């Protein structure tokens, strides 16, 4: 119960700072919007082919834009050694990590709520299977947040962290992109002989396994 209270306290602190400064949400949303605009010029507008590349654009946008947020996620904690102060207190590292993950998840979710409708609009993708699409985005974003937050925290003080973070996280997140693209393609009615169910279970499994792995590793790595 106490841990839950500490989790809420850290999360509330982050949300309060964010909604006063908007220095994660604003760059992330703007970047994702620009990304979608650039993508719409990068492909020849052939409505018949939109189904082929639309799902990919959805997931590249999610991945790239969430990286922008991840790069900034621990900036506030770096100044004056705030993270170490936070961890020196009688707070389990797991609670801090969970709060950071949920924070990033909320910011990314807001960004997606703004940007993904634009992708569907610009590329004229009719979502046939709305629950599957939403489930894929939600589960995929959880995976991105878990892996991304772990390495964002670890690389907080590293030189060139903006470059290192995608280098490290993208190979690990390849399965999320694969599953996400598949479910999204199915959700917009791509003629594939598959069901979204197994892919969604795959994403849920990824989230569960990496939820445990990243939580344990965070605790270990910050104390190493």
Partner 1 sequence: MRTGWFEDVKNPVAGLAVAAAVAVVAALVAVFFVAPREATLGISQKIFYFHVASAIHMMVLFALCGLCGLAYLGMRGRPGRWTAVVDGLGVAAAEVGVVLGAVVLVTGPLWARKAWGTWWTWEPRLTLSLMVFLLFLAYLALRAFAGSDRFGRGVASGLAVVGLPALYFIHFAVERWGGAHPQVVFKGGLQNPDMQVAFYASLLAMSLVSATLVVLRLRIERLKGRLDALYLALDRRSPGA
What stretch of H or E contains 83?
helix 82-88
Segment contacting partner 1 by CB under 8 A, of 14-22, 79-87, 131-139, 152-160: 152-160
* Cα–Cα dist 185/133, whole Å: 9
Q: Name which of 27 and 56 has its Cβ closer to partner 1.
A: 56
Q: Which of residues 186-205 bind partner 1 (CB under 8 A)?
A: 198-199, 202, 205
Residue 179 engages partner 1 in binding (rule: CB under 8 A): yes
Q: How far apart are CA 186 and CA 171, in angstroms?
A: 24
Residue 167 touching partner 1 (CB under 8 A): yes
Q: How far is CA 42 from the centre of its chain?
A: 24
Shortest Å distance, C-beta 181 to partner 1? 9
Residue 210 is a binding residue for partner 1 (CB under 8 A):
yes
Is 30 among the residues that bind partner 1 (CB under 8 A)?
no
Please select the residue that binds partner 1; options are 154, 185, 186, 188, rule is CB under 8 A. 154
Does the footprint of partner 1 cover residue 172 (CB under 8 A)? Answer: yes
138 or 221: CB nearest partner 1: 221
92 binds partner 1 (CB under 8 A): no
Residues that bind partner 1 (CB under 8 A): 147, 150-151, 154-155, 157-160, 163-164, 167-168, 171-172, 174-175, 178-179, 182, 198-199, 202, 205-206, 209-210, 213-214, 217, 220-221, 223-224
């Amino acid at each position: 119960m106490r841990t839950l209270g500490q989790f809420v306290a850290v999360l509330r602190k982050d949300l309060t700072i964010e909604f006063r400064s908007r220095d994660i949400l604003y760059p992330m949303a703007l970047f994702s919007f620009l990304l979608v605009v650039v993508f719409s010029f990068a492909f020849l507008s052939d409505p018949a082919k939109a189904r082929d590349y639309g799902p990919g654009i959805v997931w590249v946008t999610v991945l790239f834009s969430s990286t922008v947020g991840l790069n900034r996620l621990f900036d506030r904690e770096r100044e004056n050694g705030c993270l170490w102060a936070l961890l020196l207190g009688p707070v389990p590292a797991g609670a801090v990590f969970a709060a950071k993950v949920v924070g990033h998840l909320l910011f990314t979710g807001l960004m997606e709520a703004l940007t993904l409708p634009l992708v569907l609009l610009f590329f004229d993708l009719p979502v046939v299977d709305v629950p599957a699409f939403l489930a894929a985005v939600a589960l995929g974003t959880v995976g991105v947040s878990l892996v991304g937050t772990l390495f964002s925290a670890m690389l907080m003080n590293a030189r060139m962290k903006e470059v290192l973070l995608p280098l490290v996280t993208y190979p690990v997140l390849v399965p999320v992109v694969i599953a996400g693209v598949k479910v999204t393609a199915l959700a917009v009615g791509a003629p594939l002989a598959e069901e979204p169910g197994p892919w969604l279970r795959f994403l849920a499994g990824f989230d569960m396994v990496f939820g445990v792995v990243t939580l344990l590793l965070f605790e270990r790595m910050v104390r190493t």
